[in-house]
């Protein structure tokens, strides 16, 4: 896989540039602008944006929840989330827009939620452009998601011991159902070995965010990950 990638890139370079995107931008900001029409009756964003029914959304990325200032009055729940340390980021905004009441029970934002993941990503990519630019303020929030981890062929070539995998998998099956159900927690049954190994290493290196998975993967050796991968791939 790595070799193939190298070949393609080499070719692109010889052809004088262009190439493959290695990181994914948050979403399609242009499409997000269209989606923002749904929000515009309450929220303003851009030059001269003011608080209206909802607070303005300039510099929302990195802002503490409930802290726009200028005497804007938030719901108690939103103010409390801010006091508890909720910082608006791609992930927290994504969760909020998907289902506002899931994150802030008594929010006054009368919006049922945007169910489509890509819609949310595009909307947030649009909004991200109205917050601080990383080129000027390096600590400001990312504008893209890192690509999946690449692994050496040696790591990928470790052939997992299924029996050992079965033993290790017992811990996983506490949350990830044996049936392969995707309800609430994603299923891992029948995953191709390579996808599994890459995902686990991404957690292990804390590139994929999720505290529990980072903790779980963090203590697995390369061989253990290979063993788990071999086990789950063959499960039906």
Tokens encoding 114: 């945007």
CB of 107 to another protein, least distance (A): 27
* Range in contact with another protein (rule: CB under 8 A) among 11-19, 33-41, 97-105, 211-219: 11-19
Assess 4 for contact with another protein (CB under 8 A). no
Binding span for another protein by CB under 8 A among 107-115, 142-150, 187-195, 219-227: 142-150
The β-bridge partners of 24 are 145
The single residue among 6, 53, 173, 212 that binds another protein, judged by CB under 8 A, is 6
90: phi then psi, degrees, rounded to nearest 5: -55, -45
129: left (phi over 0), alpha (psi -120 to 50) or beta: alpha
Q: Per DSSP, what are the bridge partners of residue 203? A: none
Distance CA 159, CA 231 (A): 11
What does each C-alpha distance from 164 to 119, 133, 177, 190, 232 come to in angstroms?
41, 48, 19, 17, 12
Task: Number of helices (H) and strands (E) in the chain: give both, helices first.
Answer: 11, 2
Q: Which of residues 143-162 bind another protein (CB under 8 A)?
A: 143-147, 150
Among 1, 12, 53, 102, binds another protein (CB under 8 A): 12
Q: Does 221 bind another protein (CB under 8 A)?
A: no
The contact mask relative to another protein for 61-100 (x = CB under 8 A, - = no) is: ----------------------------------------
48 binds another protein (CB under 8 A): no
Interface residues with another protein (CB under 8 A) are 5-6, 9-10, 12-14, 16-25, 132-147, 150
């Amino acid at each position: 896989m790595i070799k193939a990638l190298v070949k393609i890139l080499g070719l692109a370079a010889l052809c004088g540039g262009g190439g493959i995107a290695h990181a994914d931008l948050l979403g399609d900001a242009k499409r997000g602008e269209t989606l923002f029409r749904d929000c515009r009756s309450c929220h303003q964003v851009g030059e001269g944006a003011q608080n209206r029914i909802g607070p303005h959304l300039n510099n929302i990325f990195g802002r503490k929840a409930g802290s726009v200032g200028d005497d804007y009055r938030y719901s108690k729940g939103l103010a409390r989330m801010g006091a508890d340390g909720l910082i608006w980021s791609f992930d927290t905004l994504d969760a909020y827009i998907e289902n506002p009441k899931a994150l802030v029970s008594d929010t006054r934002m009368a919006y049922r939620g945007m169910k489509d993941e890509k819609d949310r990503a595009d909307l947030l990519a649009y909004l991200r452009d109205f917050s601080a630019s990383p080129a000027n303020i390096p600590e400001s929030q990312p504008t893209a998601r890192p690509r999946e981890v690449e692994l050496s062929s040696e790591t990928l070539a470790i052939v997992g011991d299924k029996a050992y995998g079965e033993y290790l998998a017992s811990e996983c099956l506490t949350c990830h159902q044996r049936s392969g159900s995707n309800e609430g927690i994603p299923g891992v049954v029948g995953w191709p070995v390579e996808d599994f190994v890459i995902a686990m290493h991404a957690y292990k290196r804390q590139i994929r965010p999720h505290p529990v998975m980072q903790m779980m993967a963090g203590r697995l050796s390369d061989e253990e990950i290979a063993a788990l991968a071999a086990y789950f791939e063959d499960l039906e």
